[in-house]
Amino acid sequence: MERVVPASAYGGSDEASMRANNTSGFNCRPGRHGEGAAIDVNPLVNPYIKGSVVQPATAKRYVDRTQAVRGMIKPGDVVVRAFAAEGWRWGGDWKTLKDYQHFSDNGR
């Protein structure tokens, strides 16, 4: 992981935290992250992609997953295997969108 900084350092802004490639969990927001049941790892180089929407907006250069970029998560990587060993699932395996940064205990 590149960085793990409290979200408060970014004024609670998810976008600002992602642009800084800040790995985050326990974010103060509804849902799995706020409950500690999901984490986003290196979100700049592992963006959320749905159609033409890429988040963070500055991550468009990382949509091409064939690149060799430090911290980029790919199928079968050690981080995917480590989370899978704990029963967590990866958003990079989703079919209708890709959330390459996202791991959660329930696969959502």
Residues 82-104 pLDDT 10s: 999 999 999 999 999 999 999 99
pTM across the whole model:
0.75
Q: What CA–CA distance (Å, rounded) separates 48 from 30?
A: 18
Sign of CA dihedral 36, 38, 39, 40: negative
Look at residue 2 and tell me if it is in a domain.
Answer: no
Q: Which long-range contacts (CB under 8 A, 24 or more apart) does 73-78 make?
A: 73/41, 73/42, 73/46, 73/100, 73/101
The predicted-structure confidence for 44-75, as pLDDT tens digits, reads as follows: 999 999 999 999 999 999 999 999 999 999 99
Collapsing DSSP states into helix, strand and coil, what is residue 103?
strand
Look at residue 86 and tell me if it is in a domain.
Answer: yes
Look at residue 49 and tell me if it is in a domain.
Answer: yes
Look at residue 1 and tell me if it is in a domain.
Answer: no
Beta bridge partners of 49: 54, 98
Domain count, the chain: 1
Look at residue 73 and tell me if it is in a domain.
Answer: yes
The residue segments making up the domain with residue 58 are 7-104
